[in-house]
């Protein structure tokens, strides 16, 4: 009788053996299993509970942590301007001279206390009058905040340099909650500049071309969520938190209140007033302080685009002393004759000298009349450009 | 019904429930390690529970970081019951178990499965690896993160799996697609190790896992363990059929290899196997079997790794300028003593700036986090990386401390490095083109980037006024947003390097640390 080979596992001799199922479970095992299941559930509960309790500041900006910067550095500017002379190493370069910044390079100047209205030096924000429009339904949510040229960027960050270019002086801002509407509020910003023309320049730079005109502000428009306008040397922004009609109505009320209380002042805006209204695209009005159209002799220029004869015509006006205006016109004529341009002097019209030039496929027609220089530039149709200028000079376009 | 409920109360069933629970919990922590969801969840819990992390960092730093005391919750049960972590809790082990079940010899003949689960000498390799890593740690180089399963799995999920998910299902994980340097290496390592389950079941756990080796060593002292009654046993070897640890329950049990999976208990038709309190020693092999010469080889590799790695100088004078560490990081040598390369900080970073380094910080620093400003920038008001770091390589700091505000105003902000201009690439400096993006985005107050106006004559003869930017090194915190936003995107015209970082005295740029700069001087005079 063959001896069974005990080294061969029994399983191998039964390939189709039914899988074994253990049925005997001791009481100890059952209790241990139950305890472990409870422990697993407990761990889950602990983790879930821990997730509910946390410090929200870990994920949120702590505004209080920033307050220590509000009494910040005197004389510092985010953009330094040289006080004159040539930048070392820059052959043929000229340094921009700005009368507005009192700080020396390195920012070591100690700025004097207090700020002056329309002053030309950047000074720290002095706590002035708080913003307290008395509008029913509005309640202040915070104190009035004050910012000067030195720390404006803390409030508006990357927009600050543009404001500083227009000689920004002080920002007053405050937030008001809307009574009866949880979560609704209105922000009021008043940016004060040194002159009305600079306030206009900043307003025009940020203007929304789709905005609707305002009846209470000659330079102003309303957007989807707010009202933006200039009053005197102040550029105001009144922004609603939502498009709820009640919130928008209160924003409008604040705007009208401030427009009524701030003094009107259009000093320096002669050029703006001279831009004809007929055919103007209101969203295109701009103010350029220096080097308009790349020309050093064009400063404090107001320009806008007009619909005329089916074309879009850019038109500008510069108001200056008659001698300066004449010199600018002459320089422009000389420049237009360069680089293969075709320039021709036109007959005088309504007391104004005129020339017409074509450069690189576009036309310009430039006039000079006493202390005013202006004209159409970058027009595709030279005849149309000339017609527009002549009609403007004759008063047919107002 | 009754039999189903009875089956649920088997320890093997509870083990399966535990596996599903802990694996799901791990995935949950990976998903919520995000600014939007993190809240108070202990996202680094598995890392803090990892005993090898606590042990190795205790060796390198001579301290135990606060959260790592949780590892005692695993060490004590291991000393009592053996390697329960490996099969009940370890998410990486659970993944291997599942893949092995899915892809392995499930439907093959029993004999093949039994043979695959016998102990092999190759399985002693993990002890050699552990010895090498511990010796390296004693010398001062923390490398357990390379193969520790929790670190490895966290790293793989962060750098490879989650971005891969987002590629196939956009916006499912990130708001904007994340990219990670060298993700393909980490991803392929994960796939390779998981794929090896087809050839050797639980390949990683049995052959490579240093945590398994560590727990296996501790298991030598376990009081409860699997025991085989030789009187009942008929030598059918069916206990090997599903043995996860290849612990040879059919002969003398190898205690250090047993995963306490209870499969052998379920599979034994003769009820010969049970889980007992202190069974006779003659029925087990207590300690891991590691040949002495192999142990010595492991030690030498550990020493060599430290010496060769440190000798390259990357942690000393020849440091790489692009090794910019997260805010709150400790000094570089201490950082490498603590960083376990789990990449939790990379997972939680909201801007994708944190990246796993390759060899930038030397051999020791592979897969440790550095900043890559091309992919992101350090958000000023964020300290999440420090909140999730389990070992204190990145300290838990507040936003005030990071930005140098409030009580920290005297010390100033934490600087990660300093930005430098490449004038040849900067638009206003050399291309006659206006640009002030860097100045606009500089987040500090006062801004570290300022510009000076200059009017030049262009090539076509027209004048143009440009604003040329400069960096004030006393104010620059090295956040990198300028580099990230620079429109010269292939190689930014302004680039941040590690010089000037506040965590290192040797890497200071300014002799006084920028404390008495002209601008800061004004602040002090006013105070």
* B339 lies in some domain: no
Q: Which of A20, A66, A75 sits opposite B522 (nearest CB)?
A: A75
CA atoms of B135 and A333, how far apart (whole Å): 85
CA atoms of B447 and B514, how far apart (whole Å): 14
Chain B neighbors of A149, CB-CB under 8 A = none
**What pLDDT, on a 0 to 100 scale, did the predictor assign at position B2?**
58
CA atoms of B475 and B418, how far apart (whole Å): 9
Tokens of B37: 């969801």
Give φ, ψ of B420 to 5 degrees. -130, 145
CA atoms of B38 and B345, how far apart (whole Å): 12
Q: What proportion of chain A, given as a percentage, has pLDDT over 90?
A: 37
Whose tokens are 């005391």? That residue is B69
Instruction: Identify which of A183, A169, A175, A168 has the alpha carbon closest to the alpha carbon of residue A254.
Output: A175
pLDDT tens-digit profile of A272-301?
888 998 888 877 888 888 888 888 889 889
Asked if B413 and B443 count as a contact pair (C-beta separation under 8 A), the reply is no
Domain-ending residue, one of B244, B260, B285? B285
Q: Which of B6, B45, B465 sits opposite A96 (nearest CB)?
A: B465
The total of other beta-carbon atoms located within 10 Å of residue A74's CB is: 22
CA atoms of B120 and B201, how far apart (whole Å): 12
Of A182-186, A317-321, B158-162, minimum mean pLDDT range = A182-186
**What pLDDT, on a 0 to 100 scale, did the predictor assign at position B511?**
62
Selected residues 117-136 of chain B with any CB under 8 Å from a CB in chain A = none
Q: Which of B10, B400, B522 sits opposite A74 (nearest CB)?
A: B522
**What pLDDT, on a 0 to 100 scale, did the predictor assign at position A17?**
56
* B317 lies in some domain: no
Strand bridging mode B449-457 / A79-80: parallel
A248 CB burial (10 A radius; 0-12, 13-18, 19+): buried
pLDDT at A1 over 50: no
Instruction: Identify which of B60, B65, B82 has the alpha carbon closest to the alpha carbon of residue B212.
Output: B82
Task: State the nearest Cα–Cα gap between B455 and chain A, in angstroms.
Answer: 5
The domain that contains B483 carries what CATH number?
3.30.70
User: Nearest residue on chain B to A64, judged by CA atoms?
Assistant: B406
B491 CB burial (10 A radius; 0-12, 13-18, 19+): exposed
| Architecture of the domain defined by A270-394 | 3-Layer(aba) Sandwich (3.40)
| Residue A299 parent element (H or E) | none
Provide the number of CB pairs (under 8 Å) joining chain A to chain B.
Answer: 185
Domain-ending residue, one of B285, B315, B348? B285
Note whether B522 contacts A82, CB cutoff 8 Å: no
A303 CB burial (10 A radius; 0-12, 13-18, 19+): buried
pLDDT at A171 over 90: yes
Q: Which of B241, B383, B467 sits opposite A79 (nearest CB)?
A: B467
CA atoms of B104 and B201, how far apart (whole Å): 7
Tokens of B213: 């080796």
Q: Which letter, b or e, does each residue of B35-62 get, where b requires 16 or more Cβ atoms within 10 Å of its Cβ?
A: eeebbebbbbbbbbbbbbbbbbbebbbe
Q: How confident is the model at residue A38 (pLDDT cuts 50, 70, 90)?
A: very high
Note whether B17 contacts A66, CB cutoff 8 Å: no
Q: Which of A9, A15, A65 sits opposite B406 (nearest CB)?
A: A65
Chain A neighbors of B523, CB-CB under 8 A = 72-73
Asked if B512 and B476 count as a contact pair (C-beta separation under 8 A), the reply is no
Chain B neighbors of A47, CB-CB under 8 A = 25, 41-42, 45
Tokens of B355: 């990246």
Task: State the nearest Cα–Cα gap between A58 and chain B, in angstroms.
Answer: 8
pLDDT at A19 over 80: no
Average pLDDT over residues A321-341: 89
B110 touches chain A (CB under 8 A): yes
A63 touches chain B (CB under 8 A): no
Selected residues 387-426 of chain B with any CB under 8 Å from a CB in chain A = 387, 399-400, 403, 405-406, 409
**What pLDDT, on a 0 to 100 scale, did the predictor assign at position A66?**
40
Task: State the nearest Cα–Cα gap between B381 and chain A, in angstroms.
Answer: 6
The total of other beta-carbon atoms located within 10 Å of residue A48's CB is: 10
* B84 lies in some domain: yes
Note whether B456 contacts A93, CB cutoff 8 Å: yes
- The SS3 assignment for A289 reads coil
A77 touches chain B (CB under 8 A): yes
Report the number of distinct structural domains present in chain B.
2
Q: Which of A44, A92, A98 sits opposite B457 (nearest CB)?
A: A92
Q: Are residues B115 and B258 in the same domain?
A: yes
Asked if B396 and B471 count as a contact pair (C-beta separation under 8 A), the reply is no
Q: How confident is the model at residue A64 (pLDDT cuts 50, 70, 90)?
A: very low
Task: State the nearest Cα–Cα gap between B390 and chain A, in angstroms.
Answer: 17
Domain-ending residue, one of B264, B285, B306? B285
DSSP A263: P
Measure Cα distances from A369 to A249, A321, A366, A374, B418 in Å: 46, 11, 10, 9, 56
**What pLDDT, on a 0 to 100 scale, did the predictor assign at position A132?**
85
Tokens of A120: 């030309």
Average pLDDT over residues A329-344: 87
Omega cis (within 30) before B446: yes
User: Nearest residue on chain A to B4, judged by CA atoms?
Assistant: A23
Selected residues 367-386 of chain A with any CB under 8 Å from a CB in chain B = none
Chain A neighbors of B32, CB-CB under 8 A = 51
* B367 lies in some domain: no
Average pLDDT over residues A94-122: 32
CA atoms of A167 and A170, how far apart (whole Å): 10
**What pLDDT, on a 0 to 100 scale, did the predictor assign at position A128?**
77
Q: Report ipTM (2 d.p.).
A: 0.86
Note whether B405 contacts A77, CB cutoff 8 Å: no
B527 lies in which domain range?
415-527
- The SS3 assignment for B470 reads strand
Instruction: Identify which of A273, A305, A275, A268 has the alpha carbon closest to the alpha carbon of residue A289.
Output: A268
Selected residues 287-306 of chain A with any CB under 8 Å from a CB in chain B = 290-291, 294, 296
Of A118-132, A374-388, B411-425, minimum mean pLDDT range = A118-132
Q: Per-residue DSSP letters for B339-365?
A: -----HHHHH-TTS-EEE-SSTTTTTT
Selected residues 12-41 of chain A with any CB under 8 Å from a CB in chain B = 12, 15, 20, 22-25, 29-30, 32-34, 36-37, 40
Measure Cα distances from A277 to A281, A285, A332 in Å: 9, 11, 26
CA atoms of B262 and B226, how far apart (whole Å): 8
Start-end of CATH 3.40.1000.20 domains in chain A: 270-394
Task: State the nearest Cα–Cα gap between A62 and chain B, in angstroms.
Answer: 8
Average pLDDT per 10 consecutive residues for chain B, totaling 527 residues:
71 94 97 87 94 94 83 92 94 94 72 89 94 94 95 97 94 89 94 93 95 95 90 91 92 91 91 89 84 91 89 79 94 92 95 94 93 94 92 91 85 92 95 90 85 87 88 92 94 94 81 52 42
DSSP B161: I
Tokens of A130: 């708080």
CA atoms of A301 and B112, how far apart (whole Å): 91
**What pLDDT, on a 0 to 100 scale, did the predictor assign at position A56?**
66
**What pLDDT, on a 0 to 100 scale, did the predictor assign at position A94?**
32
Output the average pLDDT for chain A.
77
């Amino acid at each position: 009788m063959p001896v069974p080979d005990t080294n061969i596992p029994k399983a191998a001799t039964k390939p189709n053996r039914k899988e074994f199922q253990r049925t005997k479970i001791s009481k100890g095992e059952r209790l241990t299993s139950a305890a472990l299941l409870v422990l697993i559930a407990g761990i889950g509960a602990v983790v879930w509970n821990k997730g509910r309790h946390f410090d929200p500041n870990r994920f949120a900006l702590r505004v209080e942590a920033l307050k220590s910067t509000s009494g910040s550095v005197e004389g510092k500017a985010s953009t330094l301007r040289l006080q004159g002379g040539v930048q070392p190493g820059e052959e043929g370069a000229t340094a921009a001279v700005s009368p507005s910044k009192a700080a020396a390079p390195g920012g070591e100047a100690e700025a004097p206390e207090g700020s002056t209205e329309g002053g030309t030096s950047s000074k720290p924000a002095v706590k002035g009058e708080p913003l307290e429009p008395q509008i029913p339904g509005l309640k202040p949510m915070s104190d009035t905040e004050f910012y000067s040229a030195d720390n404006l960027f803390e409030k508006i960050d990357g927009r600050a340099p543009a404001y500083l270019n227009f000689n920004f002086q002080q920002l007053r801002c405050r937030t008001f909650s809307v009574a009866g509407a949880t979560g609704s509020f209105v922000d009021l910003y008043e940016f004060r500049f040194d002159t009305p023309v600079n306030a206009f320049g900043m307003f025009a730079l940020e203007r929304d071309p789709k905005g609707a005109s305002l009846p209470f502000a000659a330079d102003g428009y309303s957007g989807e969520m707010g009202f933006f306008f200039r009053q005197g040397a102040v550029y105001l922004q009144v922004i609603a938190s939502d498009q709820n009609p009640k919130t928008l109505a209160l924003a409008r009320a604040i705007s009208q209140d401030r427009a009524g209380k701030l003094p009107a002042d259009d000093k320096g805006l002669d050029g703006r007033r001279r831009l004809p209204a007929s055919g103007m695209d209101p969203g295109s009005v701009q103010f350029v302080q220096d080097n308009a159209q790349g020309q050093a002799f064009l400063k404090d220029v107001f320009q806008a685009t007009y619909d005329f004869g089916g074309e879009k015509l850019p038109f500008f006006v510069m108001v200056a002393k008659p001698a300066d205006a004449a010199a600018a016109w002459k320089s422009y004529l000389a420049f237009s004759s360069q680089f293969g341009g075709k320039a021709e002097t036109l007959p005088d019209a309504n007391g104004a000298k005129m020339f017409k030039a074509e450069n690189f496929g576009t036309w310009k027609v430039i006039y000079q009349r006493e202390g005013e220089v202006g004209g159409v530039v970058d027009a595709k149709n030279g005849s149309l450009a000339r017609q527009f200028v002549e009609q403007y000079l004759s008063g047919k376009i107002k | 019904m009754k039999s189903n409920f009875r089956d649920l109360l088997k320890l093997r069933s509870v083990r399966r429930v535990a596996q599903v629970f802990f694996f799901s919990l791990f995935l949950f922590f990976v998903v919520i390690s995000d600014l939007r969801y993190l809240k108070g969840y202990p996202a680094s819990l598995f890392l803090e529970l990892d005993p090898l992390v606590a042990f190795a960092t205790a060796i390198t730093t001579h301290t135990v970081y606060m959260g790592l005391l949780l590892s005692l919750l695993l060490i004590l049960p291991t000393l009592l019951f053996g390697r329960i972590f490996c099969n009940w809790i370890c998410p990486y082990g659970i993944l291997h178990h599942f893949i092995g079940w899915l892809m392995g010899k499930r439907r093959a003949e029993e004999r093949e499965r039994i043979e695959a689960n016998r102990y092999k000498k190759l399985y002693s390799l993990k002890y050699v690896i552990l010895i090498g890593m511990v010796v390296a740690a004693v010398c001062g180089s923390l490398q357990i993160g390379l193969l520790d399963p929790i670190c490895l799995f966290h790293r793989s999920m962060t750098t490879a799996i989650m971005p891969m998910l987002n590629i196939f299902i956009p916006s499912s994980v990130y708001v904007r697609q994340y990219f990670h340097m060298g993700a393909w290496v980490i991803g392929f390592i994960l796939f390779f190790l998981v794929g090896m389950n087809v050839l050797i079941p639980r390949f990683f756990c049995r052959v490579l896992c240093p945590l398994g080796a560590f727990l296996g060593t501790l298991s030598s002292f376990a009081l409860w363990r699997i025991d085989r009654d030789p009187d009942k046993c008929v030598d059918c070897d069916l206990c090997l059929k599903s043995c996860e640890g290849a612990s040879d329950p059919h002969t003398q049990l190898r205690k250090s290899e047993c995963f306490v999976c209870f499969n052998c208990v379920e599979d034994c038709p003769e009820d010969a196997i049970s889980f007992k309190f202190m069974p006779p020693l003659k029925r087990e092999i207590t300690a891991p079997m590691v040949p002495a010469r192999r142990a010595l080889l492991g030690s030498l590799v550990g020493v060599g790794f430290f010496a060769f790695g440190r000798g390259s100088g990357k942690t000393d004078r020849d440091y790489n300028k692009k090794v910019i560490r997260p805010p709150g990081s400790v000094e570089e040598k201490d950082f490498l003593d603590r960083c376990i390369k789990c990449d939790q900080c990379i997972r939680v970073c909201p801007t994708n700036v944190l990246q796993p380094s390759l060899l930038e910080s030397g051999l020791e620093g592979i897969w440790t986090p550095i900043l890559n400003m091309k992919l992101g920038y350090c958000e000023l008001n964020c300290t999440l990386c420090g909140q999730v770091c389990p070992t204190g390589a990145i300290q838990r700091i507040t936003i005030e401390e990071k930005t140098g505000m409030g009580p920290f105003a005297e010390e100033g902000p934490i600087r990660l490095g300093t930005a430098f201009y490449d004038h040849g690439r900067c638009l206003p400096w050399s291309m006659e083109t206006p640009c002030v993006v860097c100045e606009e985005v500089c987040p500090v107050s006062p801004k570290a980037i300022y510009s000076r106006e200059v009017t030049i004559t262009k090539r076509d003869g027209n004048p143009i006024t440009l604003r040329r930017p400069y960096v004030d090194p006393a104010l620059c915190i090295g956040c990198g947003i300028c580099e990230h936003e620079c429109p010269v995107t292939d190689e930014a015209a302004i680039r941040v390097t590690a010089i000037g970082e506040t965590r290192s005295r040797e890497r200071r740029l300014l002799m006084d640390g920028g404390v008495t700069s002209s601008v800061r001087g004004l602040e002090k005079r006013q105070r």
